[in-house]
Amino acid sequence: MLKGFNFQVHKIHFFLGKVQLCLCLSNESKKMGKGGKSHEETKSGEDENMAAWLVGLNTLKIQPFKLPPLGPHDARVRMKAVGICGSDVHYLKTMRCADFVVKEPMVIGHECAGIIEEVGSEVKNLVPGDRVALEPGISCWRCDLCKDGRYNLCPEMKFFATPPVHGSLAHQVVHPADLCFKLPDNVSLEEGAMCEPLSVGVHACRRANIGPETNVLVMGAGPIGLVTMMAARAFGAPRIVIVDVDDNRLSVAKNLGADGIVKVSTDMQDVAEEVERICKAMGGGVDVSFDCAGFNKTMSTALSATRAGGKVCLVGMGHHEMTVPLTPAATREVDVIGIFRYRNTWPLCIEFLRSGKIDVKPLITHRFGFSQKEVEEAFETSAGGGSAIKVMFNL
Amino acid sequence: MGKGGKSHQEGEENMAAWLVGLNTLKIQPFKLPPLGPHDVRVRMKAVGICGSDVHFLKTLRLADFVVKEPMVIGHECAGIIEEIGSEVKNLVPGDRVALEPGIGCWRCDLCKEGRYNICPDMKFFATPPVHGSLARQVVHPADLCFKLPDNLSLEEGAMCEPLSVAVHACRRANIGPETNVLVMGAGPIGLVTLLAARAFGAPRIVVVDVDDYRLSVANNLGADGVVKVSTNMQDIPEEVERICEVMGAVGVHVTFDCAGFNKTMSTALSATRAGGRVCLVGLGHNEMTVPLTPAAAREVDIIGIFRYKNTWPLCIELLRSGKIDVKPLITHRFGFSQKEVEEAFETSARGGNAIKVMFNL
């Protein structure tokens, strides 16, 4: 796999400093490119490709990142906008996320958009200069799940910044052309990068069957709760109530169109009273709840607040094991639907943004450039939460 | 009001098995309500004991339902029509029928949507405060009495009730020729679920239990594999490995947790493949501690099952055609006397080799 190969190169590069590995591949990359600025050509005149590497606990370093050769179905993309995700922060702070462990230095970042620099010989849908949003994950396309269309669950998934696969907070990346989606003129590159978190909301709305008759409850008004709210509205949800512990986030939610906001606590004892206030704010019953936080408290509240026959989507990844009132929910046929990333969501996200049905621009609260100092500051800002919703790099 | 048949006034006093206090059943008179135009009066012939009946006997409650006053027990039943209301067109006295216990309100959104099993105003035999059907006679809506074909016994008619739970679960879980099924628990509900899953076309079914005898019953009833498990949470990874080995390479598409405990749910969530479903059928504990997030991260959904809806016609057809044979599940039979009622419930409560305990009235 190209990405794996790239990693091997970097392992050597990392230890040997400036030693440039002379690869016979350098000739091949000239052969494979259909046009546009070849990676080899830029090396003499311009900067080496640089990326933000997670080199150790809480330590990011901008260092060279050698790109793999351009395959016939690949595109080389100059990154312009990269957002920071909670998972990126989690890797920075703990070097792990669920079963994925950062064992060696890894380029961080996966919410991205940029401009095509070069396309492989078989690429027909894109040309250099095209502005594209990138879908991060490359699945195997051979297993049952992939062939069934549920490629987001592919056990061989290679995903930007999920170890050991390098991410995309870099000057350039090489990526399959079919995972690069052209942006219309009226959609900015930052909005392109926002397609990634928005995709989580869209995928959840599809799995939960959101439509003109589903009243929606969103637990958590962080970036994911907010894009889920926006997606639910775009899918036609007539009434959306959002809850959070934080007043500022609730007011952001209100400004973004929530029909009702409810302040909640982190105390399990308060579930019953909060369910009452939620149902009151909703008016009718709650048909679908999205738990965008993923804690015992939020799941328990969601299960209790959702009406009989409804659904609770577990979107947020809070705790591994959860203690929740599952049986009372089951006896009311409230189903629990799992959400993992997304599949086939970029075209719809782009259309929502193009038509204005969804406006993600208010979610981008902080912007940073691509320098060592700014990268560190950006991640601290994102980790700080509070008034920071989406922190965006402009490269 | 009756259109014909033996009037209630002429015959013996109606008697029923009443739950009068903790662990106390008494056969006492049970006065029937008047026969409405859409009702029928049924002479009970076969009544099975359900785990919920035993639970009410032993604790006087079940979830939020509390037995506050004496209540007739029992709900898995079949009998013979004695009298029909003036508007009843589909049944005549003498018809052999299986009864669907629950009367929905037919006015709320859920009822109108067809999800009447979760109607908040459901009136269900032996769920307080509604009286049950372990009685000589009951009055019931005619549309909830389903005629039995000649080749089905009244006992099989009574078995339609537990079988309905399984049929409803198989529908909600979308069981078909491509879904490998895992059943947690080889009690009465696990076993009817095994039978229903097969009838729905499941190609491979593995059943697990802690009890060797119940596993051998499951084997005899057609399980493709049985796995003995423990009640120890520590054993989960090893059990999941054994289950997946027995199931085969493709893995588990749908798991039915017919027990409903932390251990069984946790095992189910771990054993089911990505994109699969776990049905929570058994009602073990109120609050459960389970690895929800890893399951959600593999999009393993949890589907809740509560009783059933629109299952009697299909159950009757599956029994009539022989696609399902429930007769082996009826392990103990009792008559309708004070002593036998007490003995029957004790037998059912003991579990072990007692699967379905049936009254013949």
pLDDT confidence of residue B3: 41
Q: Are residues A367 and A328 in the same domain?
A: no
Task: Give the CA diameter of chain B.
Answer: 66
Q: For position B184, which CATH number holds?
A: 3.40.50.720
Instruction: Note whether A152 and A248 are same-domain residues.
Output: no
Confidence of residue A35 (pLDDT cuts 50, 70, 90): very low
Amino acid in the structure at residue A374: E
Residues of chain B predicted below pLDDT 70: 1-11
Check pLDDT > 50 for residue A108: yes
pLDDT band at A151 (very low <50, low <70, confident <90, very high): very high
Question: Are the Cβ atoms of B292 and A337 closer than 8 angstroms?
Answer: no
**Taking the CA of residue A274 as centre, how many other CA atoms within 13 Å lie in the half-sphere pointing to its CB?**
27
pLDDT greater than 80 at residue A44: no
β-strand pairing of B205-209 with B225-228: parallel
pLDDT digits (tens, 9 = 90+) for B258-307: 999 999 999 999 999 999 999 999 988 888 999 999 999 999 999 999 99
- What is the model's pLDDT at position A39? 52
Which residues of B fall within a CB distance of 8 Å from A152? 299
Mutation site for A-interface testing, chosen from B299, B303, B309 by largest number of A Cβ within 10 Å: B299
**A209 in the same domain as A331:** yes
Same-domain status, B69 and B133: yes
pLDDT at B175: 96
Distance, CA of A245 to CA of A270 (rounded, Å): 12
Neighbours of A299 (CB within 10 A): 29
Q: Which residue of A has its CA nearest to B261?
A: A327
Q: What is the CA radius of gyration of chain A?
A: 22
Give the CATH number of the domain where residue A54 resides: 3.90.180.10
Inside any domain, residue B313: no
Q: Which amino acid is at A279?
A: C
Of B118, B275, B305, the CB nearest to A145: B275
The chain A residue lying nearest B63, using CA atoms, is A328
Residues of A in contact with B299 (CB under 8 A): 150, 152-153, 207, 337-340
Residue type, B321: S
**For residue A259, which of A290, A222, A233 has the smallest C-alpha distance?**
A233
C-alpha span between B151 and B145 (Å, rounded) = 17
Q: How many helices (H) and strands (E) does chain A have?
A: 13, 22
Residues A322 and A270 in one domain: yes
The structure tokens 């991060």 sit at A136
Q: Are A322 and B289 in contact, with CB atoms under 8 Å apart? A: yes
Q: Of A292, A331, A339, which to mutate for an interface test with B (greatest number of B Cβ within 10 Å)? A: A331
**Average pLDDT rounded to a whole number, residues A177-198:** 98
Averaged confidence pLDDT in chain A: 90
Closest Cα in chain B, distance from residue A377 (Å): 30
CA separation (Å) from B259 to A112, A115, B221, B285? 46, 56, 19, 9
| Same-domain pairing of A321 and A365 | no
B45 shares a domain with B102 = yes
3-state secondary structure of B36: coil
- A79 token code pair: 């990154």
Q: Is residue B310 part of a domain?
A: no
3-class DSSP string for A107-165: ECCCEEEEEEEEEECCCCCCCCCCEEEECCEECCCCCHHHHCCCHHHCCCCEECCCCCC
Structural domain includes residue B80: yes
Distance CA B155, CA A292 (A): 49
Assigned domain for A225 exists: yes
Residues of B in contact with A150 (CB under 8 A): 274-275, 299
Give CA–CA dist B351/B347, Å, rounded. 7
> Do residues B213 and B133 both lie within one domain?
no
Using pLDDT thresholds of 50, 70 and 90, give the confidence band for residue A38.
low
- How confident is residue A98, by pLDDT bands cut at 50, 70 and 90? confident
Interface test with B, best of A287, A313, A326 (most B CBs within 10 A): A326
Let me know if residue B227 belongs to a domain: yes
CB contact burial B189-227 (16+ within 10 A = b; e otherwise): bbbbbbbbbbbbebbbbbbbbebeebbebbeebebbbbb
Closest residue by Cα to residue A225 from A13, A51, A385 = A385
**Domain limits at A313?**
201-338
Query: Closest approach of chain B CAs to the CA of A309, in angstroms?
Result: 7
What are the tokens at B101?
A: 């216990």
Neighbour tally for B72: CB within 10 Å: 22
Backbone dihedral region of A55: left (phi > 0), alpha (psi from -120 to 50 degrees) or beta?
alpha
Q: A323, B285: Cβ pair inside 8 Å? A: no
Q: What is the 3-state secondary structure of A362-390?
A: HHEEEEECCCHHHHHHHHHHHHHCCCCCE
Q: Contact B275/B301 with Cβ under 8 angstroms?
A: no
- On whether both B208 and B107 belong to a single domain, the answer is no
Rounded to an integer, the average pLDDT of A189-215 is 97
Q: Look at residue B158 and tell me if it is in a domain.
A: no
Distance CA B218, CA B226 (A): 7
Which amino acid is present at A102? V
Report yes or no on A27 lying in a domain: no
Query: What value does the mean pLDDT take over residues A145-160?
Result: 95
Would A18 be classed as within a structural domain? no
- Provide the token pair at B91: 């049944």
Is there a contact between A156 and A140 (Cβ–Cβ < 8 Å)? yes
CA B135 to chain centre: 19
Are residues B109 and B197 located together in one domain of the fold? no
Name the residue among B113, B280, B291 with its Cβ closest to that of A330.
B280
Is the pLDDT at A30 greater than 50? The verdict is no
- Count of domains observed in chain B: 2
pTM: 0.87
> Are residues A149 and A227 located together in one domain of the fold?
no
- Which chain B residue has the Cα nearest residue A284? B109
What pLDDT, in 10s, does the model give residues A338-377? Answer: 999 999 999 999 999 999 999 999 999 999 999 999 999 9
Indicate whether B184 and B271 sit together in one domain. yes
Range of lowest pLDDT (A1-5, A79-83, B312-316): A1-5
How does pLDDT run across A200-209, given as a tens digit for each residue? Answer: 999 999 999 9
CA separation for the pair B334, B344 (Å, rounded): 6
- A320 vs B63, B291, B302: nearest CB: B291
Among A338, A371, A386, the domain boundary falls at: A338
